[in-house]
Structure 1
Amino acid sequence: MTKTLKCISPIDGSVYLERPVLDRAAADAAVSAARASQTAWAARPLSERVDLVRAAVAEVGKTTDRMAVELAHQMGRPVRYGGEFGGFEERASYMADIAETALAPMVIEDSGAFTRKILREPHGVVLVVAPWNYPYMTAINTVAPALIAGNAVILKHATQTLQVGERLAEAFHAAGVPEDVFQNVFLDHDTTSGLISSRAFDFVNFTGSVKGGQAMERAAAGTFTPVATELGGKDPGYVRADADVDAAVDGLMDGAMFNAGQCCCGIERIYVHESLYDAFVEKAVALVKGMKLGNPLEQETTIGPMANVRFAAEVRAQIEEAVADGAVAHIERFPEDDGGAYLTPQILTNVNHDMRVMRDESFGPVVGIMPVKDDEEAIRLMNDSVFGLTAAIFTKDAQTAEAIGARLETGTVFMNRADYLDPALCWTGCKDTGRGAGLSVLGFHALTRPKSYHLKKA
């Protein structure tokens, strides 16, 4: 009996779509086809590869209305936000813009006696395992630069967003990228691990849970296959005494609640200077109370269901445990909260780091807020986490923000903003958030290997 993957729509719990997985023989054939096609792809001029990727992005841009509706069905984001094409295009276009410079030879010497230089070569076949929460943008982070750099790419998308991989393949193939060079595949965990452990791939990029990242590293153990991971987060925000409270509330609560809190770099804990604490909490509660929970296909909905009932169950459990331990919940249950995927967004105070809601990844619309007396206490609490993706500081003092940032165990430091990915900067993390370098010039370096030439001419 053929095993299938089922996308359960959070809108109503129905099966939105179902796809059969490849067995091991078919998966091996897909990898072999990718490997056979990669050399010719890499031999094409860089400008040609860039143009084809740009054309594929334009193909995706022709179907943005469809994208928004399909994402609402698959993972619950309200259609009012219009899909993901803006960020998708920004990231792919930036990587296309910098490709020639990022991949240029590093010439050490070019004289009559010697040529010494370092070139960048594609790894070969790259596996991209993409998550469901921002399924177009997270996939393109690696797909675009990997193809531009001359790699063949095999994309395995999350079960919750099976259709996204298909749509990307359609667009890239329509633009002229050869079908064997960019493939979307449906694989189960065992086949994926088996392929990695047999050295089927030359580079693996995984975005997902800590448990999933550990499985990828175990599969690659001993193969020397590079594995880049972007895993869990528990990103903090800090509101200093000199901050603009209204701007801090708007920025941090958007970071905490947008996409029903299902953001890799979403804000999950907030530390506010004691002089601003009461005002911040009051304004944050008022903002969240004004949100409209509901069917993501309806324009008035501002916060949709979580992508899966089990994700919502974890958030509810964290909230209930915290309240039982003395936390104060400020948002009364919304009428639309069905006890399943539709979850009331929540603000908790009187929280501490003994509570799971302040330690474990929530990945949902809940945030704990604590008062702090000074920068030292804020830094200590911000670093008191096994994760390290981003940290946001709200202040009028850029010099102090940079000084605080230097002491934070994180991949990105924001000032007066949160929950944003700048494609010109390296997207990376530390601790249990994983390791790797996405986007920016370093993203191209991660997706290629250096090759040195030392040519003696006499």
Structure 2
Amino acid sequence: MTIESTNPATGTVVDTFEDDSGADRDERIERAAETFPEWRTTPIERRQQLLAAAGEVLRENSEEYATLMTEEMGKPIDQSRSEVEKCAWVCDYYAEHAAEFLADEPVAGEPDAETKVVYQPLGPILAIMPWNFPFWQVFRFAAPNLTAGNVGVLKHASNVPGCARAIEDVFREAGYPDGAFSSLLIDSDEIDAVLEDDRIAGVTLTGSDGAGRAVAETAGNELTKTVLELGGSDPFVVLDDAPMEKTVETAVQARLINNGQSCIAAKRFIVHTDVYDEFLDRFVDEMDAQVVGDPMDEKTDIGPQAREDLMDDLHEQVEETIDRGGDLELGGEPMDRDGAYYPPTVITDPLEDSPADQEEVFGPVATVFEVSDEERAIEKANDTRFGLGASVWTADLDRGERVARRFESGLAFVNELVKSDPRLPFGGVKDSGYGRELARAGIREFVNAKTIWVQHEAGEETEMVE
């Protein structure tokens, strides 16, 4: 069977690929399992060198990879270029810091024993990745985990098969051994068979909470370690002393980045009543000023939604929210043009049980809530089953940090949009998942933190070595 890659801006086929048969799937997993013993014993300095080389491959082919992303899922070309550069950055980061993060840690214990914690890789790790950041999501997983000594098996989203194969080529060109990183072009209904394979030592998924529950259930039956990053409905809290010009400018960017299709995009704008009218007027004007068009055009701010069916789902959420009492301030209808284009949309005062209030709205749709005071703003921000990111805007940074500490989220920002950074742990709480990616915490998710106890002769004290 063939897999078609379709350009959501035009509906034309970008490329076709043969999917992996059951035999192909098994062969790739077996190759990963056979590669692991040698790869895990490769000195970490060599693994870091190869990761740095992968970063160089990304930079050398940036325009090719950026164009591929834009053609397959529709993000504006400039954002695709930035995504390639961010992938190279995460390679640079772990190429510099991985050995430090995984170094043996002496631990004080008995005076006549040497005790330490060592960090050892687990084996083949399955990564189930989404289409919205088709390079970044994969490299966010691969850079730390391959450098820790694991091998990677990728099951990418079905609408970005070209990106999946291109990423496999990046590691090959960088000099990684065959089997260190491989991609499976398989249907989603085959994932359980991979999860149940005893050669798979761990699984990480970025996707919907429904997909996360299904994967966690199957992996749990196998006692396989999981990390889940499951999206969110991030609040963007505007307090009465917010610096309005910067707040509105960032609010638009935070909602519309990646055509509005980001798990950490600001989705619920919670605004203090004293500045509500000013914020709403300026926000609607700025949203309306964004250029919707061909994602290959440098002047475009918003491209198409990644698939026609995703746009249809988004529109259903908008229609139901409005039917149940929300006020439409801007947009609200698919655009009358070829491609899966949905305009910037603003809804005010949605009912508490409406889709735009309770569900993740994955597209350029913002909901705006008016609240009477800071306490009510915090309550509304936390009134969601999700808990990925949150931000607060205020002229008083102490006040901002106090509010940020009260958000029920894995990430909390003051006077900045929510974003991922290789230097900081990334992940959520509640229905946004568990586990962490990036930084020191991320590279230690899929390793065995093993205690080593070396007993010396009685009375022989040991010297702890840093």
Corresponding residue number in structure 2 for 1:239: 238
**Worse-superposed segment, 235-244 or 64-73:** 64-73
**Is it true that 1:54 corresponds to 2:83 in the alignment?**
no
Within 5 Å, give how 1:92-171 maps onto structure 2: 92-109=91-108, 113-171=112-170
Contact 2:390 2:418 in 1 (8 A): no
Corresponding residue number in structure 1 for 2:193: 194
SS across alignment from 2:391: strand
Corresponding residue number in structure 1 for 2:463: none
Corresponding residue number in structure 2 for 1:428: 427
Contact 2:39 2:180 in 1 (8 A): yes
**Worse-superposed segment, 275-284 or 15-24:** 15-24
Deviation, 1:323, is 2.1
**Is it true that 1:304 corresponds to 2:293 in the alignment?**
no
Deviation, 1:109, is 4.8
Deviation, 1:285, is 1.0
Corresponding residue number in structure 1 for 2:36: 38
Query: Could you tell me which amino acid in structure 1 is paired with residue 281 of structure 2?
Result: E
Contact 1:95 1:439 in 2 (8 A): no
**Worse-superposed segment, 315-324 or 356-365:** 315-324
Corresponding residue number in structure 1 for 2:66: 68
Deviation, 1:334, is 8.5
Deviation, 1:244, is 0.4
Query: Could you tell me which amino acid in structure 1 is paired with residue 41 of structure 2?
Result: A
Q: 1:104 to 1:188 in 2, by over 3 A?
A: same
SS across alignment from 2:160: helix
Contact 1:52 1:175 in 2 (8 A): yes
Corresponding residue number in structure 2 for 1:328: 327
Contact 2:412 2:418 in 1 (8 A): no
Deviation, 1:335, is 9.6
Q: 1:172 to 1:198 in 2, by over 3 A?
A: closer
Give the distance between the partners of 2:125 and 2:404, measured in 1 at CA.
Answer: 33
Give the distance between the partners of 2:2 and 2:24, measured in 1 at CA.
Answer: 15
Residue by residue, what CA displacement relative to the aligned partner does 1:326-363 show, whole Å, maximum 9, x if unpaired?
Answer: 32222257895438611111011132322211211111
Give the distance between the partners of 1:439 and 1:344, measured in 2 at CA.
Answer: 33
Give the distance between the partners of 1:278 and 1:375, measured in 2 at CA.
Answer: 17
Deviation, 1:370, is 1.0
Give unmatched runs, 5+ long, in structure 1.
none
Aligned residues: 456
SS across alignment from 2:444: helix
Contact 1:9 1:15 in 2 (8 A): yes
**Worse-superposed segment, 139-148 or 17-26:** 17-26
Contact 1:23 1:191 in 2 (8 A): no
Deviation, 1:65, is 1.4
Deviation, 1:324, is 2.0
**Worse-superposed segment, 330-339 or 57-66:** 330-339
Give the distance between the partners of 1:383 and 1:146, measured in 2 at CA.
Answer: 32
Give the distance between the partners of 2:334 and 2:87, measured in 1 at CA.
Answer: 34
SS across alignment from 2:193: helix
Give the distance between the partners of 2:313 and 2:110, measured in 1 at CA.
Answer: 64
Residue by residue, what CA displacement relative to the aligned partner does 1:387-413 show, whole Å, maximum 9, x if unpaired?
Answer: 110001011222222222222211100
Give the distance between the partners of 2:80 and 2:354, measured in 1 at CA.
Answer: 36
Contact 2:126 2:200 in 1 (8 A): yes
**Worse-superposed segment, 28-37 or 103-112:** 103-112
Give the distance between the partners of 1:200 and 1:310, measured in 2 at CA.
Answer: 35
- TM-score, normalisation: structure 1: 0.95
Deviation, 1:21, is 2.4
Q: 1:340 to 1:386 in 2, by over 3 A?
A: farther
How much identity, in percent, do the aligned residues show?
29
Corresponding residue number in structure 2 for 1:271: 270
Contact 1:388 1:409 in 2 (8 A): yes
**Is it true that 1:9 corresponds to 2:7 in the alignment?**
yes
Contact 2:324 2:351 in 1 (8 A): no
Give unmatched runs, 5+ long, in structure 2.
458-466
SS across alignment from 1:160: coil
